[in-house]
A and B are shown apart, each in its own frame.
Chain A
Amino acid sequence: DTGVSQDPRHKITKRGQNVTFRCDPISEHNRLYWYRQTLGQGPEFLTYFQNEAQLEKSRLLSDRFSAERPKGSFSTLEIQRTEQGDSAMYLCASSLAGLYEQYFGPGTRLTVT
């Protein structure tokens, strides 16, 4: 499978715990995006990387959220001190530089209890 992959697919955690999600983009794609989607809404942009550089962050991304893409390949999204309002689907997408067509991974569904 040469598409975008995400791990884990599901995560249940207790409020206050830290969680980390991983995204592996399509191999030749140097742009990587993180989104959050809640029921009945479209994906909301969180952050964007070009290679290893984080070039854009949404105001939605509070200081409890951090994302990295250390070698310009896979990326991680960490949420510290999770809150119930963090429950959502976290989607990763990738694209080629110069093209805006994004391809999404299957998402990580987070439930904070």
Chain B
Amino acid sequence: RKEVEQDPGPFNVPEGATVAFNCTYSNSASQSFFWYRQDCRKEPKLLMSVYSSGNEDGRFTAQLNRASQYISLLIRDSKLSDSATYLCAVNRGENKFYFGSGTKLNVKP
């Protein structure tokens, strides 16, 4: 079983829509969680860390559900510029990170 799993998508949504992605992790000892954004043929860019209490940054909200072992990313009022692949990353506190394969988002006019 993979350490981290994501729905590859693509999620095709109109501008202004709200879209949510989940990412499941297999190891209950996982400690730190992150969402990255990756544009085509570019490096991943840190979008936000995911805290136990959840966190919000503008139109983006991340949540952690330890009981069900998943993290989520909610994007409100989608913009064309949000089109990208969203990667989740999980760390077990051993300085080794596990990334999902990413969820592709297409925001259409």
Contact = CB atoms under 8 A, between A and B. Distances in A.
A48 B96 contact: yes
Interface string A38-55: 001111110010100001
Contacts of A106: 42-43
Given A45-B96, A100-B91, A40 B101 contact: yes
Main secondary structure of the interface of B (DSSP, over half): strand
Nearest to B98: A45
Looking at chain B, what size class is its interface with the partner chain? 20 to 34
B95 interface: yes
Interface string B2-43: 001000100000000000000000000000101000000011
Interface in B78-94: 87, 89, 91, 94
B43 A105 contact: yes
Interface stretch (B44-52, B54-62, B69-77): B44-52
Given A42-B89, A42-B102, 16 more contacts: A31-B95, A35-B99, A42-B4, A42-B99, A43-B99, A44-B99, A45-B97, A45-B98, A100-B49, A101-B34, A102-B34, A102-B89, A102-B97, A103-B46, A104-B45, A106-B43
